[in-house]
Amino acid sequence: AAALLGIADPDAVLFAANGRQAVAGAVAALVPPGGRLGVEPLTYPVVKGLLARLGVRAVPIASDGDGPRPDALAEAHRRAPLGAVYLQPALHNPTGLTVPPGRRGALAGTLAELGVPLVEDRVWSFLADTSPLADLLPESAIVVDSLSKRVSPGLTTGFLAVPRALRGRVAETLRAGAWAPTGYALEAATEWLADGTVAALAEAKRRDAAARRSLALERLEGFTVSAAPRSYFCWWELPAPWRAEAFAGAAARLGVTVTPGAVFATAPDATPAAVRLGLASPSHAGLARSLDLLADLARRGPDAPEAPGRR
């Protein structure tokens, strides 16, 4: 598990039942009810739900094409202190962005200067080639990850790499929340990590994700689509006059599920005209057919008569 998290100290590793509970344990240990957590303007929807249950307020940190802006982070903390910041610097969900080295360094410097701890979610990092941002913040950053994406949704064991100063607090929070993994899940996870199964499955998924991403860009050529070189999802900025919710509804009537941007938005006034496309589940042929349906739908526009979907 230490190698998976990119750390040298195995004592720093704590376990949770899944990645969601790993995030919940880290956030609950750092931010009290009523506190503020800095997040990207678009973030993992499950985290939004976790924060609501924990009574923690999500504070959007303005971002640009390189990720969260350090000046916006500092300004948010000046307005009212942040208990922590939750970021996905590697293969951000939903946009697919990986924060470049210069911005990573600037963010780490700002977090260190402000004394604000980081919760870094690296659940998709096995598809990217980048080290943890937490490497630049060894005393104040918690890395969370899980096996669900790189192995199987059925093997959900979550991991946290926690600095010594925060370890006791996070461990107690995980115990209090009953967020520990079952014995069977932990045994299976450690065995598969040790015998190379996890590494082999992750490498196969890297190849598959690259092929699916290429297929998506080919079928959606001419549209504004963002996807990492290896990715199981892409972010599609829809052509005018489409609205994301209307497009998602029209796609559903064709038998295709897409996720509108509002689901990821952390500010009510920031609802992009964009959708997230999941690329992992269908066969390659099924994915191609679905993408063709979506491309045709986007070109016809919201006012055109609906075409028949899949039968």
278/148 Cα distance (integer angstroms) = 15
φ, ψ of residue 116 in degrees (nearest 5): -100, 125
pLDDT for res 11: 87
pTM value is 0.94
pLDDT for res 236: 99
pLDDT for res 4: 66
- pLDDT(1) > 80: no
- For the stretch 58-111, pLDDT in tens is 999 999 999 999 999 999 999 999 999 999 999 999 999 999 999 999 999 999
pLDDT for res 96: 97
**pLDDT average, residue stretch 280-302:** 97
293/228 Cα distance (integer angstroms) = 22
CATH topology of domain 205-300: Aspartate Aminotransferase, domain 1 (3.90.1150)
218/213 Cα distance (integer angstroms) = 9
- Domain locations in the chain as residue ranges: 2-195, 205-300
- pLDDT(148) > 80: yes
- pLDDT(311) > 70: no
- pLDDT(197) > 80: yes
- pLDDT(290) > 70: yes
**pLDDT average, residue stretch 25-44:** 98
Q: Which of 52-56, 128-132, 254-258, 265-269 has the lowest mean pLDDT?
A: 265-269
The Cβ of residue 53 has, within 10 Å, a number of other Cβ atoms equal to: 9
Tell me the CATH class for 2-195.
alpha beta
260/94 Cα distance (integer angstroms) = 10
- For the stretch 216-253, pLDDT in tens is 999 999 999 999 999 999 999 999 999 999 999 999 99
Residue scoring higher pLDDT (114 or 185): 114
**pLDDT average, residue stretch 113-129:** 97
187/193 Cα distance (integer angstroms) = 10
Task: Return the percentage of the chain with pLDDT > 70, whole number.
Answer: 95
Residue 63 structure tokens: 């971002």
